[in-house]
Amino acid sequence: MTLPPFGGVVRKLVLANVVVFFALVLLTFASEATEGRVVSYLVLQPSAVAHGMLWQLVTYAFMPMGILNVVLSLLTLWFTGSFLESDRGSKWFAELFYTSTSGGAAIAVLLCLIGYTGHSFLGLNPTDTKMYAAGLWGPLFGILVAFGVLFADMEISLFFVIRMKAKYLVAIYLLVELAFLIRGNDRLSACVQLTCGLCAYLFVRYAPRRGLSFAASEGYFGMRNGYYRWKRRRAARKFEVYMRKQDRVVHFDKDGRYISPEDEKRDPKDKRWMN
């Protein structure tokens, strides 16, 4: 059995989680009260996000929830994330991770805010200050959903024992989280995991193959080049008007490029000028 590669974005995420875990352990030894305040500012609390703590939409994913939880989540991130990163690239995987992390948290918070209308949705009451979500399992479910969509028929080992196709594993995980959302005690965490999975599914289905940042840069440069071409055509039209006032005639093509008199007289079917 060979281990997957440990590098790129996966390594950075794993190391970031390990650093945060030990930093909170040291802070607990120094002052438990301070550690509690720091954690309360970084975990996902719908009421806090509604009051402007938007950083919680990302920081909650790096908040540890026990040693065993951290170990299992980091192993899952390593094994599944490294496969996706090697197949799709580091930039695409980073966008998948942070899109599912922040997008899923934002949707979960919006669902919780329905409680302000007087109708608590599935027990997600934003006025409950003790309700919070933390840990990597939300983004990890997004990674599993992406894995299941892209490699649905690939067989993987559940707990290194049970082999099943990726799409069946995702379906089982989905049913379990739906059960926790409806009848569980920690409904916010279940809601975050499901919404992270939804965002990951939308990202895989509709995001460009080379990522959102590449599509944004392509769109920006396309708009910029279109603007420059429009300026060149406008300048060409102005120059034509100016030259007509000087009793001279010049011509430009549809892209604003100057057409010399020799080119106007040349027969387009005459290929002798070509090498």
Predicted model pTM: 0.76
The token duo for 275 is: 């090498």
User: What does the pLDDT read at residue 16?
Assistant: 93
Distance separating alpha carbons of residues 229 and 235, to the nearest angstrom: 10
Statement to judge: residues 108 and 196 lie in one domain? yes
Are residue 162 and residue 233 in the same domain, yes or no? no
Q: At what angle do helices 187-206 and 166-183 cross, to 10 degrees?
A: 140
Count: domains in the chain: 2
**pLDDT given for residue 202 in this prediction:** 92
Residues 44, 153, single domain; the answer is yes
Q: Which residues of the chain, if any, have pLDDT below 70?
A: 1-2, 115-129, 157-161, 210-216, 218, 261-275
Together in a domain, 16 and 84: yes
pLDDT at 103: 92
What does pLDDT average to over the chain? Answer: 82
Q: Which domain holds residue 248?
A: 221-265
Based on the fold, state whether residues 175 and 150 are members of the same structural domain.
Answer: yes
Exposure letters 98-135 (e unless 16+ CB within 10 A, then b) = bbbbbbbbbbbbebbbebeeeeebebbbbebeebbbbb
List the CATH number of the domain containing 161. Answer: 1.20.1540.10
Whether residue 230 sits in one domain with residue 160: no
Contact 52, 101 (CB under 8 A): no
| C-beta of residue 101 within 8 angstroms of C-beta of residue 57 | yes
Residue 243 lies in a domain: yes
